[in-house]
């Protein structure tokens, strides 16, 4: 069965510094991996996804993520954080062999301090 | 504007009441989903639908019901059998089969509170 872990409940970073939000997964075969962001009292917005090919995926708002198959990780990164990046971030995995289900992590709250 | 709308934004339910949450999309998406979000637990799938007049239970379907009479609409009813319904409910859609690699588009959510 597929699963997702986001080991940090909260990440704090100063504005202008690089940020990393961690995600590890468990799935059979070649899973699809996603990152979403949620602002307070709002729905989730899609940031980026990994399907196949280049391990470094670029997405919206300057975010990128690196897929590492040997470590089963898909960490979200940004070279220079903005205060407006403060939000709740969700990693998600879908196993194409597992049917319809997308499994979401518990979320990591990112605080960017000015 | 294309997107997903959910109404109402806030909903209060008394004990023993059924309530219905609305979800409408104009993205021409085939697949639609309902999730429940509780603090620290991520999103849990309640129901999903691949096509009109077809829907499947997710992980926590007990106490909930849905219908899919139109492609654009996927309402969720929270019945009195759901013992702990206070949560944030999110509706989502995607362009085709749920098992594809396409991302989901989410509505703004409905916050349900039991009085």
| Residue-wise pLDDT tens digits, A43-73 | 899 999 999 889 999 999 999 999 999 999 9
Q: Which residues of chain B have a Cβ shorter than 8 Å from any chain A Cβ?
A: 4, 6, 35, 40-43, 45, 48, 50, 56, 58, 90, 92, 97-101, 103-109, 111
Q: How confident is the model at residue A5, as a pLDDT?
A: 96
Chain B residues near residue A47 by CB distance under 8 angstroms = none
Q: Would the pLDDT of A98 be above 80?
A: no
* Mean pLDDT confidence for A79-98: 92
Give B101's pLDDT tier (boundaries 50, 70, 90).
confident
Q: B104 in helix, strand or coil?
A: coil
Of B67-71, B85-89, B97-101, which gets the smallest average pLDDT?
B97-101
Give B29's pLDDT tier (boundaries 50, 70, 90).
very high
Q: How confident is the model at residue B66, as a pLDDT?
A: 98
Interface test with A, best of B27, B49, B99 (most A CBs within 10 A): B99
Give A99's pLDDT tier (boundaries 50, 70, 90).
low
Give A 28-87 residues with CB within 8 A of chain B: 32, 34, 36, 41-46, 49, 51
Interface test with B, best of A25, A44, A89, A103 (most B CBs within 10 A): A44
């Amino acid at each position: 069965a597929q699963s997702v872990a986001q080991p940090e409940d909260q990440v704090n970073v100063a504005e202008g510094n690089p940020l990393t939000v961690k995600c590890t997964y468990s799935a059979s075969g070649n899973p699809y991996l996603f990152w979403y962001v949620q602002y307070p009292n709002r729905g989730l917005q899609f940031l980026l996804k990994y399907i196949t090919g280049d391990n470094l995926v670029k997405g919206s708002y300057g975010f990128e993520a690196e897929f590492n198959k040997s470590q089963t990780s898909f960490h979200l990164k940004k070279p220079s954080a903005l205060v407006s990046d403060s939000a709740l971030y969700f990693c998600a995995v879908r196993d194409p062999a597992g049917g319809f289900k997308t499994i979401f992590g518990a979320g990591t709250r990112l605080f960017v301090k000015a | 504007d294309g997107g997903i709308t959910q109404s109402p934004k806030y909903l209060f339910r008394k004990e023993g009441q059924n309530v219905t949450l609305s979800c409408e999309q104009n993205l021409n998406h085939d697949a639609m989903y309902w999730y429940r979000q509780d603090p620290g637990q991520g999103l849990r799938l309640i129901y999903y639908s691949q096509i009109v007049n077809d829907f499947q239970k997710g992980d926590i379907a007990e106490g909930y019901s849905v219908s899919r009479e139109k492609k654009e609409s996927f309402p969720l009813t929270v019945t009195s059998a759901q013992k702990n319904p206070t949560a944030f409910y999110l509706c989502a859609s995607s362009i085709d089969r749920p098992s594809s690699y396409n991302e989901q588009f989410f509505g703004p959510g409905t916050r349900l509170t039991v009085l």
